[in-house]
Amino acid sequence: MKIRTITIDDEPLALKLLSSYVEKTPYMELLGEFDNPLDAMEFLETTTVDLIILDIQMPDLSGVEFARVQHTQAKLIFTTAYEKYAVESYKLNAVDYLLKPYSYQEFLQAAGKAKKLIDLEQGAATSVEANSQFLFLKSEYKIRRINFDDILYVEGLKDYVKVFLAHEEKPILSLSSMKAMEEKLPADEFMRVHRSFIVHLNKIEVIERSRIVFGKTYIPVSDQYKEKFQEYLNQNFL
């Protein structure tokens, strides 16, 4: 599986060179190149990437600022003409940084580091997916194992999700997205019924006026998901 990559640099020649390096690397796929980080942010709202390679010094939004406001799971490699920015890049958990002008060999060394990390994470994710019984969530500086059967529903906040469990009063708060949760949860057990809610179908006991009731919580079924949810109900009506 190729590493889905985007490149960002406001200098046309630097961007062209960087993108050409990505395109000629067999294990990489260039999904987009951007001379403006704001355009890249818009692209990332609808597209999942594995790796972002970006310049640190750019107008409007620097590479460092871009990294701080993005909540994507993609790995980062910074490029810069100034070695003094290296420390800053590592503070942001960047995989590596490339000091301009850099050669293709230097690019490959940085890309290779990213590939190892991505392969490890994808391998772990595949193992969990194959198990189809649980997932791991980062919460409050810990990693929690969450059994699918314990989940009642998931609520999405802007940059976080709240996972409500059957036997715990407080939800688990984790830095993630609803899209990522939807991809991890088994589709035959969980359904997204609203922009902000995913429910465990096997845990539904009461439905009232197009709302799913979990204790004192009423979860609305929005128009976007109503037809799919109704199909599920029809399959289980007597």
Last residue of a domain, one of 87, 105, 130: 130
pLDDT, one tens digit per residue, over 81-103 is 877 655 555 556 688 889 999 99
What is the C-alpha separation between 199 and 232, in angstroms, rounded?
A: 13
**Is 216 in the same domain as 151?**
yes
Q: Residue 112 is part of a domain; what is its CATH number?
A: 3.40.50.2300
Pick the last residue of a domain from 130, 148, 164. 130
Verify that 139 and 188 share a domain, yes or no.
yes
Torsions phi, psi for 16 (to 5 deg): -65, -45
Q: Is there a single domain that holds both residue 172 and residue 116?
A: no
* Burial of residue 145, with CB atoms counted within 10 A of its CB: 0-12 exposed, 13-18 middle, 19 or more buried: exposed
Same domain as 139, residue 34:
no
Q: What is the pLDDT of residues 151-199, one digit of tens each?
A: 999 999 877 899 999 989 899 999 888 888 888 898 889 999 999 999 9
Residues 101 and 195 in one domain: no
H or E element, residue 3: strand 3-8
DSSP H/E element including 135: strand 134-139
Q: What token pair was written down for 190? A: 């969980």
- How remote is the C-alpha of 155 from its chain's centroid? 16
Task: Point out the least confidently predicted range of 7-16, 43-52, 132-141.
Answer: 132-141
The CATH number linked to 171 is 2.40.50.1020
Residue with tokens 């539904």: 204
pLDDT (tens digit, 9 = 90+) per residue, 21-42? 999 999 999 999 999 999 999 8
Residues 6 or more apart in contact with residue 50 via CB below 8 angstroms: 3, 4, 5, 74, 75, 114, 118
> What whole-number distance in Å separates Cα of residue 163 and Cα of residue 157?
11
At 52, list the tokens.
């972002």
Residue 130 confidence (pLDDT) above 50 = no
126 and 25 within one domain: yes
78 and 184 within one domain: no
pTM for the predicted model, two decimal places: 0.55
Residue 118: what pLDDT? 87
